[in-house]
């Protein structure tokens, strides 16, 4: 029989010690990851469209036809497949350990400010969607990027999401 006058009991989950966090990622590594992610996206999504349009346009010109070529449609299908593969890889790496494709290649990762793993929802919604909506404001992108020169090396989108980028 339990004592109705006993104090309540709660299970408290331990959090990581902030002083035991890995070193913050270098600014240049973060910049490199952002640029590399852009190139990866362009290669997987935009290149098939461009190649399909170039090949389709060249063959239509050579044939003397003004109609669209099936290669343009093939480029669109290849771009759709490339986007699906990019999305799958990005969600897989982000959900597993807070990394984009380039962050995985450059050995950096995103975690919560207390050192615990960042949830997929936090990474997608707060770091990307909310940040994308706010970027409608003129000069926001520049201000967001300039925040990395602070002592904590957190961009504005990191502060919004309560995350830090560390060496993996």
CA-closest candidate to residue 165, choices 67, 97, 88, 84: 97
- How far apart CA 47 and CA 163 sit, in angstroms, is 33
Task: Answer for the pair 90, 104: CB distance below 8 angstroms, yes or no.
Answer: no
- How far apart CA 68 and CA 56 sit, in angstroms, is 7
pTM exceeds 0.85, yes or no: no
Q: How confident is the model at residue 68 (pLDDT cuts 50, 70, 90)?
A: low
pLDDT tens digits, one per residue of 95-131: 999 999 999 999 999 999 988 999 999 999 999 999 9
- Does residue 158 sit in helix, strand or coil? helix
pLDDT, position 69: 67
- How far apart CA 148 and CA 161 sit, in angstroms, is 14
Residue 62, pLDDT above cutoff 80: no
């Amino acid at each position: 029989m339990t004592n109705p006058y006993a104090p309540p009991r709660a299970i408290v989950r331990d959090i990581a010690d902030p002083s035991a966090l890995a070193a913050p990622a270098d600014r240049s590594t973060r910049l490199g990851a952002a640029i590399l992610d852009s190139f990866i996206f362009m290669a997987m999504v935009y290149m098939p469209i461009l190649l399909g349009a170039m090949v389709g346009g060249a063959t239509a010109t050579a044939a003397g036809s003004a109609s669209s070529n099936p290669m343009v449609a093939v480029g669109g299908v290849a771009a759709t497949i490339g986007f699906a593969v990019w999305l799958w890889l990005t969600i897989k790496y982000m959900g597993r350990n807070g990394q984009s494709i380039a962050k995985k290649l450059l050995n950096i990762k995103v975690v919560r400010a207390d050192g615990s793993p960042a949830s997929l929802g936090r990474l997608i919604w707060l770091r990307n969607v909310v940040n994308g909506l706010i970027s409608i404001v003129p000069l926001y992108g520049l201000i967001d990027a300039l925040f990395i020169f602070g002592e904590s090396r957190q961009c504005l989108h990191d502060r919004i999401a309560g995350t830090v980028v560390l060496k993996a």
